[in-house]
Amino acid sequence: MTEHPLPDPDVAIEWLETMTLIRRFEERAGEMYAKAKVGGFLHLAIGEEATIVGSVRAMRERDYLISTYRSHGHALVRGTNPDNVMAELFGRVDGVCKGRGGSMHMFDIERRFMGGYGIVGGNLPIAAGFALASDYLGSDDATLCQFGDGASNQGTFGETLNLAALWSLPIVFMVTNNQFGMGTALERHSAVTDLHKRGEGFGVPGMQCDGMDALDTYAVTCEALRIAREERRPMLVEAITYRFRGHSMADPEEYRTREQVEEWRKRDPLITFGDRLVAEGVIDDERREQIDKDAIARVDRAVAFADNSPNPPPESLYDDIYVLGGQVRGWWSLDERSPTPHRGEDERDHDQQRYGEDATPSTGEIPQQMTAGLQYREESH
Amino acid sequence: MAVETQAGIRTIRYRDALNEALREELARDESVILMGEDIGVFNGAFKVTAGLLEEFGERRVRDTPISENTIVGMGVGAAMTGLRPVVELMTINFALLAMDQIINHAAHIRYMFGGQVKVPLVVRMPQGAGHQLGPTHSHSWEAFFLHVPGLLVATPSTAADAKGLLKAAIRDDNPVVFIEHEYLYGQRGEVSDDPDLVADFGRAAIRREGTDVTIVGVSRMAVTAQRAAQGLADQHGISAEVIDPRTLRPLDLDTILASVRKTNRAIIVEEGWPHGGVGANLAALIAEQAFDDLDAPVGRVTGADVPMPYAKPLEEIAYPHEKQIVEAVLATFGDR
């Protein structure tokens, strides 16, 4: 790979700060998972920070970003408050998605971060839909769609690339090739391992970047976005990277050797980029240390915030399934007498009118068969 | 073509009523676009979109490759970012290829992202047996979509509803699975030409008033049930009330319950499979809400529990006709 010159000092420092924030955030998220503060699955992007920061910094503010179930870093790089990202992991009301999505489903409409998606390959058609809307509405917004090497084997990959090329959509598909689709190595899941070549048959030219190098990732993504935006040609960018941690927290990593991980760790983007900033005199060691301390302090505040944020109230269970007011006239979606162990807000009000104030459902009034689940939830936190 | 009966009311085919709805909404709202396989140059597999490409151009009426999951997914994405896409799937069987986008995405996105975004998408698809299309083109699967919170589900059985409900679906901010019927495409009915007339979801229609038994017919079975009701009146002196739910999500259970409380008997008729079906669900709801009003167990008339066969004599007995409905009604009266 060619050695790219550093951007302006302010920019270079911001990149290092953001990569560091993502790293420290992910590490703390892992700790919080071990303490059972975070439930479900937790997929960390440690090792992929240069891919995330380099590519997203190539975007304009109004461009759409869409990602996968490994998406905390994408929210953070777009500027989503770490407090709200951590609160989402904790499943609290102040989470970016009010605790509805969890780790795999981050979203921030204000920053046009259009979500993390739990279905491998499920986000590609949706991303092309953003690009279709941008194109149709006559804007010059582009879409950056990130997915993993595993997703390149889904049917949506071929279908979406074909349609994007056919309709000349302003979209860059970025395959974050971290060498594994979960625990299956690239050469064991893909007959053609040069993933950037896979778009050619669909009319989508490919480019490759060093995903461990934010500068190279930035340069290649800039060019890809320029082509997509100005020439209305979708592009496929393959970022070669590596995740230092397992696929998820529940991964004994039996599919790779310690030596391989160690080899890639020598190219740790935080270390190499930080070293370069020091070597070129952009920062000194003291500043570098301060950046790290600041990131750790920021993540500490996020954890404290998340810990203090309340659980979503039971009466919010049915909120936001539908947009109300049009064809849907109440929280229920089939019929208000549909069998339901939990009740929504409107139903609670209804009960109060019928039976008076005492009728507010409390834990004690939840039917017997549901209490086991509630107890389990309390214990696991 | 259209026959004027009174000012603004014409008798037109169900497929033309759908076409009118699409045309009017395309003309009314620039954010409406159509996507689907062969909807443009070919004018649609069932000619529902005939003439729309010519009138609105290929920017708004888009022929797509055969990629069901992806065209629905693009509809989801475009709906999240300012458009009102209407995606046509050629049959309900092909919707299975798009189930990931319909359920994991269209239905869940608003909820899983904490209400930050809406998905005003309509996915149209026809269902139904009777054309010897065999086990991959003939099913009736309202039940699959009825199952899913986050979706609205419409099953119009008349030309007027085809138009009114489709217009409502396009204007609503929620994802709608809009289930048409291949048999009904050629049926005629009275339809208003008022472009502002929009039908309501969640309001059942009483297609025929009666006092002795309530028959709920879904999709094409609302039509078959009306014929059965006529037979019951003519040959058995039984007065059947026929209810067409029109939409299954939301569901107008009140109208059904009020009828059952009057007639004390209920039969649910659907073309889909018996187990886990619309009838199973409605029977449970009626039993829960109106048990004391029932003089007989709630009956169901459903499609046979088989993949749809090709051979005409087998296909004919694999979905309900008037005869089975009449028999089911008589059974609720014991030996009468």
Can you give the pLDDT at residue A336? 74
State percent of chain B over pLDDT 90. 97
Mean pLDDT across B61-80: 98
Confidence category of residue B334, pLDDT binned at 50, 70, 90: confident
What gap in Å lies between CA A332 and CA A343, rounded to an integer?
A: 9
Identify residue B155 by its one-letter amino acid code.
Answer: T
pLDDT at A1: 47
Whether A98 contacts A176, CB under 8 Å: no
pLDDT tens string for chain A (381 positions)? 458 999 999 999 999 999 999 999 999 999 999 999 999 999 999 999 999 999 999 999 999 999 999 999 999 999 999 999 999 999 999 999 999 999 999 999 999 999 999 999 999 999 999 999 999 999 999 999 999 999 999 999 999 999 999 999 999 999 999 999 999 999 999 999 999 999 999 999 999 999 999 999 999 999 999 999 999 999 999 999 999 998 888 888 899 999 999 999 999 999 999 999 999 999 999 999 999 999 999 999 999 999 999 999 988 888 999 999 899 987 767 777 766 544 444 444 444 444 344 433 333 333 333 333 333 333 333
Report ipTM (2 d.p.).
Answer: 0.95
Model confidence at B232: pLDDT above 60: yes
| CA B32 to each of CA A76, A137, B82: distance values in angstroms, whole numbers, following the listed order | 34, 11, 10
Residue A324 in contact with partner chain B when CB distance is under 8 A: no
Q: What is the mean pLDDT of residues B195-224?
A: 97
Q: What is the pLDDT of residue A339?
A: 61
User: Closest to A107 (Cβ–Cβ): which among B76, B116, B253?
Assistant: B116
Q: In chain A, positions 64-93, which contact chain B (CB-CB < 8 Å)?
A: 64
Which pLDDT band holds residue B75 (cuts at 50, 70, 90)?
Answer: very high
Report yes or no: B153 and B249 within 8 Å, Cβ to Cβ. Answer: yes
Show the domains of chain A with their CATH numbers: 9-308 (3.40.50.970), 315-380 (no CATH)
Chain B CB contacts of A327 below 8 Å: 152, 168-169, 172, 174, 200-202, 247, 250
- Cis amide prior to B65 (ω within 30 degrees): no
What angle separates helix A9-34 from helix A49-56, to the nearest 10 degrees? Answer: 130
Side chain identity at residue A333, one-letter code: S
In a 3-state reduction of DSSP, which class is residue B333?
A: coil
Which of B241, B245, B244, B247 lies closest to B266, judged by CA? B241
Give the model's pLDDT for residue B48: 98
CATH number assigned to the domain with residue range B205-332, chosen from the 4 options 3.30.1550.10, 3.10.129.10, 3.40.50.920, 3.30.420.40:
3.40.50.920
Of A100, A159, A327, the CB nearest to B202: A327
Q: What pLDDT shows up at residue A71?
A: 96
On whether the CB atoms of residues B113 and A107 are closer than 8 A, the answer is yes
CATH for the stretch B10-192: 3.40.50.970
DSSP for A273-289 reads HHHHHHHTTSS-HHHHH
Q: pLDDT tens across B277-306, in order?
A: 999 999 999 999 999 999 999 999 999 999
Q: Is the pLDDT of residue B4 over 70?
A: no
Q: Are strands B152-154 and B247-249 parallel, antiparallel or unpaired?
A: antiparallel
Pick from B81, B104, B111: CB nearest A133: B81
Decide the pairing of beta strands A235-240 and A206-210.
Answer: parallel
Among residues 115-144 of chain B, which lie with CB inside 8 Å of chain A? 115-118
Alpha helices by DSSP H, listed for chain B, are 14-28, 52-56, 68-80, 99, 109-112, 142-146, 159-171, 220-236, 253-263, 278-290, 312-317, 322-332
Closest-CA distance of chain A to residue B151, Å: 8
Classify A105 as helix, strand or coil: coil
CA distance B180 to B169: 13
For residue B106, the distance in angstroms to the closest alpha carbon of chain A comes to 10
Any catalytic annotation for residue B137?
A: yes
Q: What Cα–Cα distance (Å) separates residue B158 from each residue in B15, B17, B246, B302?
A: 10, 9, 9, 20
Predicted confidence (pLDDT) at residue B313 exceeds the cutoff of 90 = yes
Where along chain B do the CATH 3.40.50.970 domains lie?
Answer: 10-192
Percent of chain B with pLDDT over 70: 98
pLDDT one-digit tens code per residue, B104-145 = 999 999 999 999 999 999 999 999 999 999 999 999 999 999
Which residue reads 């995740």 in tokens? A243
Question: Is A147 an 8 Å CB contact of chain B?
Answer: no
Helix (H) or strand (E) segment spanning residue B124:
strand B122-127
- Whether the CB of A100 is below 8 Å from some CB of chain B: the reply is yes
Q: How many CB atoms lie within 10 A of CB A344?
A: 20
Residue of B223, B225, B207, B205 lying closest to B215 (CA atoms): B225
Q: Which residues pair with A177 in a beta bridge?
A: A240
Residue of B243, B98, B89 lying closest to B179 (CA atoms): B89
Q: Which of B20, B24, B25, B68 is catalytic?
A: B68
How far from the centroid of its chain's Cα atoms is residue B252's Cα? 14
User: B42-69 in b/e burial notation, b at 16+ Cβ within 10 A?
Assistant: ebbbbbbbeebbeebeeebbbbbeebbb
For chains A and B, count residue pairs whose Cβ atoms are closer than 8 Å: 182
Chain-chain contact of B168 with A327 (C-beta, under 8 angstroms): yes
pLDDT at B2 over 70: no
Show which of residues 74-103 on chain B sit within 8 Å of chain A, judged by CB atoms.
74-83, 85, 100-101
Given CB atoms, is B291 within the 8 Å cutoff of chain A? no
pLDDT (0 to 100) of residue B6? 64
When CB atoms are compared, the residue of A95, A327, A337 closest to B289 is A337
Q: What are the start and end residues of each CATH 3.40.50.920 domain in chain B?
A: 205-332
B25, B37, B137, B180: the catalytic one is: B137
Residue B298 contacts by C-beta under 8 Å, 6 or more apart in sequence? B266, B267, B268, B282, B283, B286, B287
